[in-house]
Structures are given as C-alpha cells and as structure tokens.
Amino acid sequence: MVSAKEAEHILRQVKDDRAFRLHMGTSIRSLKELAEALDLMADRSFAHHVTGARNDFGIWIKDVIGDDELARSVAKLQNREAILKKVDDRIEWLVQKMAESHVTTKELMSMGAVDFAIGMVIGFIGGLIVAALVAL
C-alpha cells in the first residue's frame, strides 16, 4: 500500500543527474514528463529503449522513481500506447492518493468550529465554578 507521502515522492521531479535520457537527447525527470514523452516520441526512439531484451523505462521507474509496482507492469510491456496507459493510470491513482490525505479547508474549519464550541462550554462551566467559589 502506498502512503500519501510515498505517492508524493514517486511523483516528484528527480535531479538532472538521475533524469532519463532519451537517445535523441531529451531528459525526463518525472512520471508526468515520461507520459508526455511517450505520447510524442517517434517510434524509432521508443524502439531504442524498449526491445525484446530490455525495457529502459521500467528500469528507470524502478531504480530512480522508486515505484516497483509500476516498474513491474511497464517492464512486461512492449507497446508504447500500453506503457503510456499504465503510466497515466498510475499518475492519476497517485494524485488521488495524495488528495485523500489532505484535509480540505472546509474540513479544517469544521474541526476548528467543534474545538471552539467545546472550549466555550468548558470555559463557561469553569467560569460558573469559579464564580460559585468566589461567592462562598
């Protein structure tokens, strides 16, 4: 199971020295950039990185991005459109995973209102007790 923090890590941009270099010179630094590149790259460029013997994209996803699940899925594929779909689907899932963990402003305000109301009740009761003690 991937946590929101792990999802954020997987979706990050890596440093230039860890970027995937297409044989035509383009650098890819994130899954989002990989998806964009897969969508636009020439068949010849794709064929250079995905052969019957290896899948450079799967290796990079595993070793650099750190998403073993996506890497295993991609490593089995030889078709650019299928790899692009796997990457796009994974990005969407990871973004959703991150969003689930973030508290919305409305939720935060709601929690704050409840805390405020509890504080008011406790303060009122405390005030009554102090007033009763002072009146003695």
Per-residue pLDDT tens for 48-66? 999 989 999 999 999 999 9
Model pLDDT, residue 105? 61
Model pLDDT, residue 47? 95
Of residues 87 and 120, more confidently modeled: 87
- Number of neighbouring beta carbons within 10 Å of residue 65: 23
Share of the chain above pLDDT 90, in %: 65
Which backbone phi and psi does 55 adopt, to 5 degrees? -135, 95
- Whether residue 78 is predicted with pLDDT greater than 80 in this model: the reply is yes
Outline where the chain has alpha helix (H): 4-11, 31-40, 43-49, 56-60, 68-75, 80-101, 105-135
Q: What span, in angstroms and rounded, lies between the C-alpha atoms of 58 and 31?
A: 11
Q: CB within 8 A of 127, min separation 6: which ones?
A: none
pLDDT tens-digit readout, 90-136: 999 999 999 887 665 666 566 677 777 888 889 889 888 988 888 88
What is the DSSP-derived secondary structure letter of residue 61? I
